[in-house]
């Protein structure tokens, strides 16, 4: 991992228009790229020389839009649309077998820029209109609005509901991601419904653990851990209302929490670097139908996950995409009449500090014992 300033210089040297959000003291900084759909590429809590929190693929960015399927540029929060698979997928054409050779990321979330509606140094708004067909051949006219706002210190404490101890260096931002039905027909479970899908990519390390609170009263399966085969016990532990997931970029694995299990919160902690990351995301009240990302035929098209985490590692061929790790959140499917809108909001917090300062924050916000988090897999600790 390099410094934030190095990553910022790299993005600009590749002729990207970086919209930078910066706190008054210059320490909290967020880089957003309109060409990549208003994507947050990276951020820092300690100024230009501070640690860069997002994972960036320099190789892919230097190559430009070279991959007709998908350009994996990285970034710590990118905007996508769900579902990925099934009869209502945006990533496969009607009648196509849903295999990798046919997988195609829509240009609107890969290679097409978003318009910068406004940017003032602490907030930026991006918009886009598009027409897409799903795998059932149904056409959708979709309006997209993405707002990225830097949170100042008082706003961070307000959203987290905790007073930050002295010595913590924070950076945080909120994104509000809105889908609007611009067509003439309602979006329903019969036609398929798009969802907001936010994916964050971060550098892994031997001392990083993702930990996700879950609802112990939920009667269904608390966590799906079989995306790429069963995850061994030395990499995934589920107990006492908390899921612990080992993140080292050396074992390809993914977990997901369904509606009813997820609680709108996720944390990750790198004990080696002294960084606590927190995600808070919106979970609407009332009936919710989360789209199913599984490729191919589906028994339940609306039994998908609310939040996922992915640890990169070698594929069957031995290749490694990153390495990186991901935290993903989704909105429910957008059941919208013409002219109606759905918004999925997410707040990302990066807190730098020593173990003693970060411990009460993890406890109050996530209900997590940071000593347990850092020692759960007997990881290296500084």
Q: The domain spanning residue 321 has which CATH number?
A: 2.70.98.10
pLDDT band at 379 (very low <50, low <70, confident <90, very high): low
Across 345-368, average pLDDT:
98
246-295: pLDDT as tens digits: 999 999 999 999 999 999 999 999 999 999 999 999 999 887 999 999 99
Q: Is the pLDDT of residue 74 over 80?
A: yes
Residues 206-225, buried b or exposed e (16+ Cβ, 10 A)? ebbbbbbbbeeeeeeebbeb
The pair phi, psi for residue 142, each rounded to 5°, is -125, 130
Residue 380 maps to a domain = no
Across 298-313, average pLDDT:
95
pLDDT band at 361 (very low <50, low <70, confident <90, very high): very high
Domain of 211, in residue numbers? 4-375
Predicted pLDDT of residue 381: 43
Q: Is the pLDDT of residue 382 over 60?
A: no
Residue 137 maps to a domain = yes
Residue 370 maps to a domain = yes
Q: What is the number of structural domains in the chain? A: 1
Q: In terms of DSSP bridges, do strands 195-202 and 325-330 run parallel, antiparallel, or are they unpaired?
A: antiparallel
Task: Judge contact between 181 and 130, C-beta under 8 A.
Answer: no
Residue 114 maps to a domain = yes
Predicted pLDDT of residue 343: 98
Task: Judge contact between 326 and 78, C-beta under 8 A.
Answer: no
Predicted pLDDT of residue 320: 87
Predicted pLDDT of residue 151: 98
Q: Is the pLDDT of residue 209 over 90?
A: yes
Residue 368 maps to a domain = yes
How far is the C-alpha of 376 from the C-alpha of 374, rounded, in Å?
6
Predicted pLDDT of residue 380: 45
Across 176-204, average pLDDT:
97
Residue 260 maps to a domain = yes
Across 227-233, average pLDDT:
90
Q: Where are the alpha helices (DSSP H) in the chain?
A: 4-13, 58-63, 153-160, 355-366, 370-375
**Poorest-pLDDT segment among 64-68, 274-278, 335-339:** 64-68
Q: Is the pLDDT of residue 38 over 70?
A: yes
Whole-structure pTM value:
0.95
Residue 382 maps to a domain = no
* Residue among 134, 126, 65 at smallest CA distance from 334: 134
Q: In the chain, pLDDT over 70 holds for what percent of residues?
A: 99
Predicted pLDDT of residue 316: 81
Residue 288 maps to a domain = yes
> Tokens representing 39?
């994507």
How far is the C-alpha of 261 from the C-alpha of 368, rounded, in Å?
17
């Amino acid at each position: 991992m390099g410094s934030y300033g190095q990553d910022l210089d790299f993005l600009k040297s590749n002729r990207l228009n970086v919209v930078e959000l910066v706190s008054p003291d210059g320490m909290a900084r967020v880089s957003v790229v309109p060409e990549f759909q208003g994507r947050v590429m990276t951020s820092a809590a300690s100024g230009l020389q501070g640690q860069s929190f997002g994972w960036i693929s320099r190789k892919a960015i230097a190559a430009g839009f070279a991959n007709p399927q998908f350009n994996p540029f990285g970034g710590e929060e990118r905007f996508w649309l769900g579902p990925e698979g099934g009869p209502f997928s945006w990533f496969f054409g009607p009648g196509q077998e849903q295999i990798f050779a046919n997988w195609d990321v829509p240009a609107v979330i890969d290679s097409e820029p978003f318009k910068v509606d406004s940017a003032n140094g602490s907030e930026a708004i991006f918009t886009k209109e598009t027409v897409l067909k799903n795998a059932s051949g149904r056409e959708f006219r979709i309006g997209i609005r993405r707002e990225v706002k830097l949170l100042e210190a008082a706003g961070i404490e307000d959203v987290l509901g905790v007073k930050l101890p002295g010595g913590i260096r924070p950076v945080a931002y909120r994104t509000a991601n809105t889908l609007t039905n611009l067509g003439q027909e309602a979006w329903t479970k019969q036609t398929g419904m798009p969802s907001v899908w936010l994916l964050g990519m971060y550098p892994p390390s031997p001392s990083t653990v993702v930990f996700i609170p879950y609802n112990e009263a939920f009667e269904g399966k608390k966590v799906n851990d079989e995306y790429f085969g069963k995850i061994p016990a030395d990499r995934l532990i589920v107990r006492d209302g908390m899921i612990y997931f080992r993140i080292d970029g050396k074992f390809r694995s993914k977990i997901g929490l369904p509606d009813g299990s997820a609680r709108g919160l996720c944390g990750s902690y790198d004990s080696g670097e002294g960084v606590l990351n927190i995600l808070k995301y919106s979970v609407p009240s009332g009936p919710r139908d989360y789209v199913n990302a599984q490729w191919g035929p589906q028994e339940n098209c609306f039994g998908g996950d609310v939040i996922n985490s992915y640890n990169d590692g070698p594929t069957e061929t031995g290749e490694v995409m990153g390495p990186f790790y991901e935290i993903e959140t989704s909105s429910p499917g957008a059941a919208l009449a013409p002219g109606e809108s759905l918004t999925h909001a997410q707040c990302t917090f990066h807190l730098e500090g020593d173990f003693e300062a970060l411990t009460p924050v993890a406890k109050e916000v996530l209900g997590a014992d940071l000593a347990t988090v850092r020692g759960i897999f007997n990881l290296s600790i500084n």
